[in-house]
């Protein structure tokens, strides 16, 4: 599937864990398109942010059950996230 780099990276994930990964391991966390592959994610990050990507790890996050009204059960949508480790000295300034 051919995806444009702006379509692959949906948004950065900002949490305590992602901040710690960013500072300790130079790893950034993104919400990505569900059909995006690791090579596509690597190419999109390198193209959009002009950095060198060392490693990409992905995880599929299942939707969580949610109650709607009194008796209806629903779910939040499932999604995919990517952990992108950059080369030493490279940084992405999207958080600051």
Low-confidence residues of the chain: pLDDT under 70: 95-96
Q: Which fold has domain 5-86?
A: Alpha-Beta Plaits (3.30.70)
Would you say 80 and 36 are in contact if contact means Cβ atoms under 8 Å apart? yes
pLDDT of residue 7: 93
pLDDT of residue 80: 98
Q: Where are the domains of the chain?
A: 5-86
pLDDT of residue 96: 54
Contacts of 62 (CB under 8 A, 6+ apart): 78
Which tens digit of pLDDT belongs to each residue from 40-52? 999 999 999 999 9
* Residue 46: closest CA among 80, 9, 17: 9
pLDDT of residue 62: 97
Beta strands in 21-78 (DSSP E): 27-32, 53-61, 65-68, 72-75
pTM equals 0.89
């Amino acid at each position: 599937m051919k995806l444009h780099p702006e379509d692959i990276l949906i948004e950065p994930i900002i949490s305590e864990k992602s901040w710690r990964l960013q500072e300790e391991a130079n790893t950034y966390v993104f919400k990505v398109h569900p059909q995006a592959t690791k090579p596509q994610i690597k190419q999109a990050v390198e193209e959009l942010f002009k950095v060198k990507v060392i490693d990409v790890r992905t995880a599929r996050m299942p939707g969580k059950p949610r109650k709607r009204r009194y008796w209806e059960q629903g779910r939040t949508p499932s999604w995919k996230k990517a952990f992108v480790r950059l080369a030493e000295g490279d940084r992405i300034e999207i958080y600051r």
